[in-house]
Structures are given as structure tokens and as C-alpha cells.
């Protein structure tokens, strides 16, 4: 019974996010912020549904609902939406939705596929660990910050192409703001990702598999992902690179993140078969 | 990894090896090999790849050892070069870093202030007023002499990047120690069995310095999901070579960490054949009765046999010998989920040659199953009842054993990488200089990170100082 409720709430959130994304696009197209307010409300409604769904599911499973790809994607998209709402409020700009919400929509679409198992199944022994919670929760918070950097990086690249005074240029935040946002999102996401994905992942691996590092494809790709963002910080802080180059690194970094999350599971084989 | 020192002359070897460009090239190469390692299945012999890939790729795998990508000389060499790059640039920038952090050039001049990213000028005001204005805003400045003020905050932020780099070096060192001295092996134990060594991957034995005895092993499944394991628990008694024994439950995610070893629940299985070399005391009790004899009739013989024991068959000459050749804890015959099926195998040797064999089963007394039906001469008259083979669960446990001396270094490296990241990303060193020249005060400031907001902060202080001055005038 419980399971039906949470799955339906997640479907509801998916629909809300989809509708909200379409409204944000329309608002962008029609050049009016009023529509986006409606989009924002629907998004918020979807987020509330998703959070209630996560709480119900967590209560039913008696564990943080992050133990398979279905639960993880719901948790991940909820965190991105929370970050997005904060950014939108902070910068008082409705354009962010056009660049960040498609990511949320795609994640939710993937989680809603019939092939994604939605059943609550009890945890196998390897997953019965508090380190799993810390590892997954912090990894996704870090990656959600990377999603924001991806959005602002893309916006930077679009804004840069637009002619001064033209339509997109007028409603986009200025380049400096976007550049700073990209940096700040990565500066927040990077240490959290380091701690959650790499360090806590290694601690958990030590407890569960005996080795802190096994060069499992997922581990390797998480490390590559880390190196890409480390590169971003180096070139920006030490070499003083700004703008287009760092925006590209933020975009590539998030694509690497997505590959680490999905590509490794579906294209490569390894120990992380469950998520 | 990075040097801020700009050099005009052509770079030497050390300069090249310590440069950011070199570091980047090495990192890209590391990523490249790492990615190859995730694409090409690891750990197989070359034959495995011959059927799957083009010959050219197989040659590349052979030359660069891509089948063991992460322990290949190429990869280790690249990590070494990366480490060297980090060491050289850390050493190179260390004096400058120390000076920047702890002994900044506190007495400025006109030139140094004009090169600072944040600059202001103030006129017709006393140094004390400026000092008070900054103090009031929470940024105290020290008077260096009658013409100079200097103040700073959060100077440890300069050390952040270096702490991260040194932490990465510590992690690399930990990785080397792990690789060089780390051992990975397994212990397979049945109930009641004990061992003081683990079997390494190459088949050799690793002494543990303590004895592990398996008291029991249990697999539990979820009630509603009979196929889904809930827990694997090996209850063991550990007897240190120089201490008193203690009990421990080893479960997945709850390893035993003792004497430099991590002993973790790795796998399990149904007991198979027990060989002579097994550490288990592999004796079996065999009751010999006449077939179809009444239950109350005492057995012809009760024998304690081990692998290799001879089974005395009455009425046969010296040319026929019956030897107990195998003891199976669980002879698999059908569905693996069946309960364990303990059995023994007896070989009948006639004139020194193995003639035929017969199995006797603990769970099926009387079913003496000859492998050669035509030769079932003796055993058709006998009823063999065996007991005492194997554990009732029919499982054995496999415990993974890892000795990793690099672990403390990895823990230290991981801790300090977080400290370094925190310092470098969130602790923003701020410095302000005030310098008087020709009745004008030049104010210069440096900040790591957000120059604009620090500039605004100083602008407001200066505005307040100017306003106070104007108020006084009025």
C-alpha cells in the first residue's frame, strides 16, 4: 500500500517537473516572467510531493531511500530542485529554469521508465551500512551543486554568444554573475563530493570489501570526475582563467558526472552494480 | 603543482618537471590509461583478449599491460611523474609560500601599492583616524611606523592549496605502501575448523599471527524474499599467539580488524570435497551391518576412518583392498538448494589397480551406490551407515584477509585533503596596507578570491572615515 503511494507521488513529481519545465521554456520564449511564476509554483508542488514520497518510502523501508537507482534519482533530483530554487531566489532570475530543469526532467524520466525497478526490497548485507547513507547522500549533494554549475556554465556560453542588447542578453544574468555562480557551485560541490564520493566511498569499501580502492570502473570514473573539477579550480584560482574556458570545464565536468552515474552502470561492468 | 613564479629564461629540466603544463599532461595521460582500464576487462590472461579484439589492440594490451592497467608500469610510472611534479612544485614554491603567509612585505611603498588589485587614496586626515576607522569596522591595523599601517586576516588560507597537494602526495605514498606491502588472501573454513594462515592469490600461505576458528556460519534470508540474503555471519574465535582467545561475529560491513589484518565476510558456499590437506579433522564413523539385518542387531564393525584408511572386508584375500578415498561434506547431485548431502567414496583396488568405487551417503543409509554396477559384489551384502561428516548447515565460509600498511597514510591524506580544501576554498586571506606619501594616504589591499566584495568593504570604511572627517569639520 505504502509503496503505491510513494511511487505515485514520484510520478506526480515527475509530471510537475515536466509541466514546470515546459512553462519555463514558454516563459523564456514569450519573454515574460509571469508564466515562470506559475512554473515555479508547480515545481515547488512537485518537490513537496517528492519529499513526502521519500519520507514515506524511507519509513516503509526503514532506511534512507537511496539504495537503488530509482530512489537515488528521486533523491538526486529533489536536491537539484532545492538548489535551483535557491539560485533562482538569490539571483531573482527566471532563466536558470530553462537550463537546469531539463536535467531534473531527464533524471526523473529515467527513474520513471518501466524498466527501472520501483519495488522496495530489503537490503542485501553489503548495503546495510551507515557509510552507504553518507556516501550516497553527500555524493548527490555534491553532484547537485555540479548540476547548478552545469546550468550556469551553459548559460554563460549562450549569453556570451548573444549580442549585447539582444533578447537573450537582456534577460540573462550578466557574464560575471554567471561565472561567479559557476565557481561558487563547484567550490561548494567539490569538497562535498570529495568527502562523500571518494573518502566515504573508500571507507565503506574498506568495511564491506576489505579494500578502500579497487579500481572498479565507478571508482575510476568518480576519480576522473574529481580530476576534472580539480582542474577547474586550478585554472580559475591559480591561473586566473575566467569565462568561456571555465564554463566549458563545468559543462564537461557534469557530463563526466552523468557518465559516472549512468554510463558506468550500463556500458561498463563492476562492483557498483546496484547503483 | 603550480608555480606562480614567472621566469623569462628558457626553462630547465626541474622547471619543466615542476610546471603546471607538465602536471596537466601527466594528469591527462593518467586519465587516459584509467579510462582504458575501465573499458578493457581487467585481470585476464592475453588469450582472453585474442578472441575479442583486433590483433593490433591485443599487441597494445600486451605491450602496455592494459589487462592489469592500474598496476602496469606505465600507470605506476605516470603516477610517479605526477608525484614528482607535486613534490618539485611544492618544494619550489615553499619559500615563497612561507614568506607570503608568515612574513609578508608589511612595509609598502608607492610602487607595491599601485600594483595591488584594490587601491584607494585618502587626503587630509590623520593616520590615527584611519586606524580607528578600520578598527571600528572590525579590521584592526597595526602601526608599523608613523607613515604605515598594516593589517591582515585569515592568512592560513594561503596554505590551503599546499595542504591539498601534500595530502595528495601522502595518498600516493599510501598507495605505494599498499601496493608494495599489501597482502590479500582468503580463508575458507568449515564449522569447527581452524587456521592460522590465509591463502594468498598466488597460492602461498600468509601467517596471521593468530588462529581463527569457525564456531558457526549462518546465512539468513528475508522471510518475504526467500532468495534475498539478509545476513552472512561467521562466528569465530580468535586466539592470538600471545593472548587470550576472544569471540567475534564477522558480518558483511562488520569486519574484524586485528593484528594489522582486516578479516571480512567475503563469500560462502556449500561444502564440497574435503581433501587430505584440509585443515578439518576429516574423520568419519562407518557402521557396517549386514543388509536387511534387523535394526536391533549389532553392527559387524564400527570404524573411525579418515581419507586413506583401509576398509576391512571380511573374506577377501590380500589382492583386494578397499580404501576410503574421499569424504564429501556435501556431494552435489541435483538442486543446489537441497540440504547438504554428506557422503564417502570407497575405492576397491584389485591387484594394485583401481577397479571400481562405491559411494555411501549419510542421509541415505543402505544406499551404497557402486560406480560400476557389474562389480557390486561385496557391497550388495553390506549396509554402510556413515555419520559425523561435515556440519549440519552444509556451508563453509570464505573470509577475505587484507593486510594494508598504507591505510594510516591514506587516512591521514584523506583528512588533510579535506582540511586543505576547506582552507583553500573558504578561508580567504585579506591584507590591507596604508602608506603615507606627500600628505596623501595610499590604501592598498589584497584578497584571495572575491576582490569586488572586499573592495566594497574597504570603500564603505573609507566613506565612513571621510564622513566622520566632514562631520568634525562642520
> For A167-184, what is each residue's pLDDT tens digit?
777 788 888 899 999 999
Determine whether the interchain pair B2/A268 forms a contact, defined as Cβ–Cβ distance below 8 Å.
Answer: no
Interface of B with A in 329-388 (CB under 8 A): none
Q: Taking the CB of residue B89, how many other CB atoms lie within 10 A of it?
A: 25
% pLDDT > 90, chain A: 62
A:B CB pairs within 8 Å = 108
Q: What is the ipTM of this complex?
A: 0.90
Interface of B with A in 166-185 (CB under 8 A): 175, 184
What is the model's pLDDT at position B107?
73
Provide CB contacts within 8 A for A184, sequence distance 6+.
none
Task: Return the residue of B nearest to A212 by Cα.
Answer: B407
pLDDT band at B336 (very low <50, low <70, confident <90, very high): very low
Contacts A266 to B, Cβ<8 Å: none
Out of A98-102, B8-12, B233-237, B403-407, which region has the weakest mean confidence (pLDDT)? B8-12
In angstroms, what separates the C-alpha of B66 from chain A's closest C-alpha? 13
Contacts B69 to A, Cβ<8 Å: 215
Spatial separation of the C-alpha atoms in residues B106 and B111, rounded to whole Å: 13
Q: If DSSP codes are grouped into helix, strand and coil, which group holds residue B152?
A: strand
- The cell for B294 is 534387523
Find the chain A residues whose C-beta atoms sit closer than 8 A to any C-beta of B.
121-122, 124-126, 128-129, 131, 180, 187, 190-191, 194-195, 199, 202, 204, 206-213, 215, 217, 220-221, 223-224, 227, 231, 233-234, 237-239, 264, 268-270
Spatial separation of the C-alpha atoms in residues B378 and B391, rounded to whole Å: 30
Exposure letters B25-45 (e unless 16+ CB within 10 A, then b): ebbebbbebbbbbbebebeee
In the β-sheet with B183-190, what is the strand arrangement from edge to edge? B246-251, B229-240, B205-221, B194-200, B183-190, B395-403, B261-270, B256-258
Chain segment B268-304, per-residue pLDDT in tens? 876 544 433 333 446 777 777 777 666 677 777 777 7
- Biggest CA-to-CA distance, chain B: 134
Look up the pTM and report it. 0.80
Q: Which fold has domain B104-154+428-473?
A: TATA-Binding Protein (3.30.310)
What DSSP character marks residue A197?
I
From A129, A190, A224, residue closest to B34, measured CB to CB: A224
**In the predicted structure, residue A271 carries a pLDDT above the cut 60:** no
**In the predicted structure, residue A46 carries a pLDDT above the cut 70:** yes
**Residues composing chain A:** 275
What is the model's pLDDT at position B387?
72
The answer to whether B291 and B378 are in contact (CB under 8 A) is no
β-bridge mates for residue B53, sequence order: none
Which of A12-16, A119-123, B110-114 tops mean pLDDT?
A12-16
What is the model's pLDDT at position B156?
86
- The cell for B133 is 576607522
In angstroms, what separates the C-alpha of A161 from chain B's closest C-alpha? 25
What is the model's pLDDT at position A223?
95
**In the predicted structure, residue A2 carries a pLDDT above the cut 60:** no
In angstroms, what separates the C-alpha of A185 from chain B's closest C-alpha? 12
Which residue carries 603516477 as its cell?
A: B79
In angstroms, what separates the C-alpha of B104 from chain A's closest C-alpha? 19
Q: Taking the CB of residue A247, how many other CB atoms lie within 10 A of it?
A: 26
Spatial separation of the C-alpha atoms in residues B347 and B311, rounded to whole Å: 9
From B225, B255, B422, residue closest to A121, measured CB to CB: B225
Spatial separation of the C-alpha atoms in residues B208 and B259, rounded to whole Å: 8
Chain segment B384-401, per-residue pLDDT in tens? 777 766 544 457 889 999
Q: Taking the CB of residue A73, how many other CB atoms lie within 10 A of it?
A: 25
Mean pLDDT of A249-263: 94
Contacts A189 to B, Cβ<8 Å: none
**In the predicted structure, residue B6 carries a pLDDT above the cut 50:** no
Mean pLDDT of B404-423: 94
**In the predicted structure, residue B329 carries a pLDDT above the cut 80:** no
**Which ranges of B65-207 would DSSP assign to H, the alpha helix?**
73-102, 110-114, 127-136, 160-181
pLDDT band at B34 (very low <50, low <70, confident <90, very high): very high
Q: Please report, in angstroms and rounded to a whole number, the separation of the first and last CA atoms in chain B.
A: 57
Contacts B38 to A, Cβ<8 Å: 217, 220-221, 264, 268, 270
Cα B203 to Cα B184, B186, B269, distances in angstroms: 11, 10, 19
What is the model's pLDDT at position A269?
60
Does B37 reach chain A within 8 Å, measured CB to CB? yes
Spatial separation of the C-alpha atoms in residues A88 and B106, rounded to whole Å: 43
Per-domain boundaries in chain B:
2-91, 104-154+428-473, 183-271+394-403, 283-385
What is the model's pLDDT at position B399?
93
In angstroms, what separates the C-alpha of B223 from chain A's closest C-alpha? 10
What is the model's pLDDT at position A137?
96
**In the predicted structure, residue B142 carries a pLDDT above the cut 70:** yes
What is the model's pLDDT at position B72?
93
Mean pLDDT of B231-239: 92
Contacts A126 to B, Cβ<8 Å: 252-253
**In the predicted structure, residue B381 carries a pLDDT above the cut 70:** no
**Average pLDDT, whole number, for chain B?**
81
Contacts B225 to A, Cβ<8 Å: 121-122
pLDDT band at B316 (very low <50, low <70, confident <90, very high): low
Chain segment A50-109, per-residue pLDDT in tens? 999 999 999 988 899 999 899 999 999 999 999 999 999 998 888 898 999 999 999 999
pLDDT band at B472 (very low <50, low <70, confident <90, very high): low
Amino acid at each position: 500500500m505504502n509503496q503505491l503511494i510513494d511511487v505515485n507521488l514520484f510520478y506526480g513529481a515527475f509530471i510537475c517537473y515536466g509541466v514546470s519545465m515546459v512553462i519555463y521554456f514558454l516563459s523564456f520564449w514569450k519573454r515574460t516572467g509571469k508564466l515562470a511564476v506559475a512554473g515555479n509554483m508547480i515545481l515547488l508542488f512537485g518537490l513537496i510531493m517528492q519529499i513526502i514520497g521519500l519520507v514515506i518510502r524511507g519509513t516503509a523501508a526503514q532506511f534512507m531511500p537511496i539504495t537503488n537507482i530509482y530512489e537515488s534519482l528521486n533523491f538526486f533530483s529533489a536536491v537539484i530542485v532545492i538548489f535551483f530554487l535557491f539560485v533562482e531566489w538569490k539571483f531573482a532570475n527566471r532563466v536558470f529554469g530553462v537550463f537546469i530543469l531539463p536535467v531534473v526532467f531527464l533524471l526523473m524520466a529515467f527513474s520513471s521508465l518501466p524498466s527501472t525497478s520501483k519495488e522496495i526490497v530489503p537490503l542485501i548485507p553489503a548495503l546495510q551500512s551507515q557509510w552507504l547513507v553518507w556516501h550516497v547522500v553527500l555524493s548527490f549533494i555534491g553532484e547537485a551543486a555540479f548540476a547548478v554549475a552545469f546550468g550556469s556554465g551553459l548559460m554563460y556560453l549562450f549569453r556570451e554568444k548573444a549580442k549585447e542588447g539582444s533578447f537573450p542578453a537582456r534577460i540573462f544574468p550578466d557574464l560575471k554573475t554567471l561565472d561567479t555562480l559557476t565557481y561558487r557551485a563547484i567550490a561548494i560541490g567539490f569538497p562535498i563530493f570529495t568527502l562523500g564520493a571518494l573518502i566515504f566511498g573508500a571507507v565503506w569499501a574498506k568495511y564491506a570489501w576489505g579494500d578502500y580502492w579497487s579500481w572498479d570502473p565507478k571508482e575510476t570514473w568518480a576519480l576522473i570526475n574529481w580530476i576534472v573539477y580539480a582542474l577547474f579550480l586550478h585554472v580559475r584560482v591559480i591561473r586566473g582563467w575566467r569565462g568561456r574556458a571555465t564554463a566549458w570545464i563545468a559543462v564537461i565536468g557534469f557530463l563526466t558526472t552523468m557518465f559516472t552515474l549512468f554510463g558506468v552502470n550500463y556500458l561498463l561492468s563492476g562492483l557498483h552494480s546496484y547503483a | 603543482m603550480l608555480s606562480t613564479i614567472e621566469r623569462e629564461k628558457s626553462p630547465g629540466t626541474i622547471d619543466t618537471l615542476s610546471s603546471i603544463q607538465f602536471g596537466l599532461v601527466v594528469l591527462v595521460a593518467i586519465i587516459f590509461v584509467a579510462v582504458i582500464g575501465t573499458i578493457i576487462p581487467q585481470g585476464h590472461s592475453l588469450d582472453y583478449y585474442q578472441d575479442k579484439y583486433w590483433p593490433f589492440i591485443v599487441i597494445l594490451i600486451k605491450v602496455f599491460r592494459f589487462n592489469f592497467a592500474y598496476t602496469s608500469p606505465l600507470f605506476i610510472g605516470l603516477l610517479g611523474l605526477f608525484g614528482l611534479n607535486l613534490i618539485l612544485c611544492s618544494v619550489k614554491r615553499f619559500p615563497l609560500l612561507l614568506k607570503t603567509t608568515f612574513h609578508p612585505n608589511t612595509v609598502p611603498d608607492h610602487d607595491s601599492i599601485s600594483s595591488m588589485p584594490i587601491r584607494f587614496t585618502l587626503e587630509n586626515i590623520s593616520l590615527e583616524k584611519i586606524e580607528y576607522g578600520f578598527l571600528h569596522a572590525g579590521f584592526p591595523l597595526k602601526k608599523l611606523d608613523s607613515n604605515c599601517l598594516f593589517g591582515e586576516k585569515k592568512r592560513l588560507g594561503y596554505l590551503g592549496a599546499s595542504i591539498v597537494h601534500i595530502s595528495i602526495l601522502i595518498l600516493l605514498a599510501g598507495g605505494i605502501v599498499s601496493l608494495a606491502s599489501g597482502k590479500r588472501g582468503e580463508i575458507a573454513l568449515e564449522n569447527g575448523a581452524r587456521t592460522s594462515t590465509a591463502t594468498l592469490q598466488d597460492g602461498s600461505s600468509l601467517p596471521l599471527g593468530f588462529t581463527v576458528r569457525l564456531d558457526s556460519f549462518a546465512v539468513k534470508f528475508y522471510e518475504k524474499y526467500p532468495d534475498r540474503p539478509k545476513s552472512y555471519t561467521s562466528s569465530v574465535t580468535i586466539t592470538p599467539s600471545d593472548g587470550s582467545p576472544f569471540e567475534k561475529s564477522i558480518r558483511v560491513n562488520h569486519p574484524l580488524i586485528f593484528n594489522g589484518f582486516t578479516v571480512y565476510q567475503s563469500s560462502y558456499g556449500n561444502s564440497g570435497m574435503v581433501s587430505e590437506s584440509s585443515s578439518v579433522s576429516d574423520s568419519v564413523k562407518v557402521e557396517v551391518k549386514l543388509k536387511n539385518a534387523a535394526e536391533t542387531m549389532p553392527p559387524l564393525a564400527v570404524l573411525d576412518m579418515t581419507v586413506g584408511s583401509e576398509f576391512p572386508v571380511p573374506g577377501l584375500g590380500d589382492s583386494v583392498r578397499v580404501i576410503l578415498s574421499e569424504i564429501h561434506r556435501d556431494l552435489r547431485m541435483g538442486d543446489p538448494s537441497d540440504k547438504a548431502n554428506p557422503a564417502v567414496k570407497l575405492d576397491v583396488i584389485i591387484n594394485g589397480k583401481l577397479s571400481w568405487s562405491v559411494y555411501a551417503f549419510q542421509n541415505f543409509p543402505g544406499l551404497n551406490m557402486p560406480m560400476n554396477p557389474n562389480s557390486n559384489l561385496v557391497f550388495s551384502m553390506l549396509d554402510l551407515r556413515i555419520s559425523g561428516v561435515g556440519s549440519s548447515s552444509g556451508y563453509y565460509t570464505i573470509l577475505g584477509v587484507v593486510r594494508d600498511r598504507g591505510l594510516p597514510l591514506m587516512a591521514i591524506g584523506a583528512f588533510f585533503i579535506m582540511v586543505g580544501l576547506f582552507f583553500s576554498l573558504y578561508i580567504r586571506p585579506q591584507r590591507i596596507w596604508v602608506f603615507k606619501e606627500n600628505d596623501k594616504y595610499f590604501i592598498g589591499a589584497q584578497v584571495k578570491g572575491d576582490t569586488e566584495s572586499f573592495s566594497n568593504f574597504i570603500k564603505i570604511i573609507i566613506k565612513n572615515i571621510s564622513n566622520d572627517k566632514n562631520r568634525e569639520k562642520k
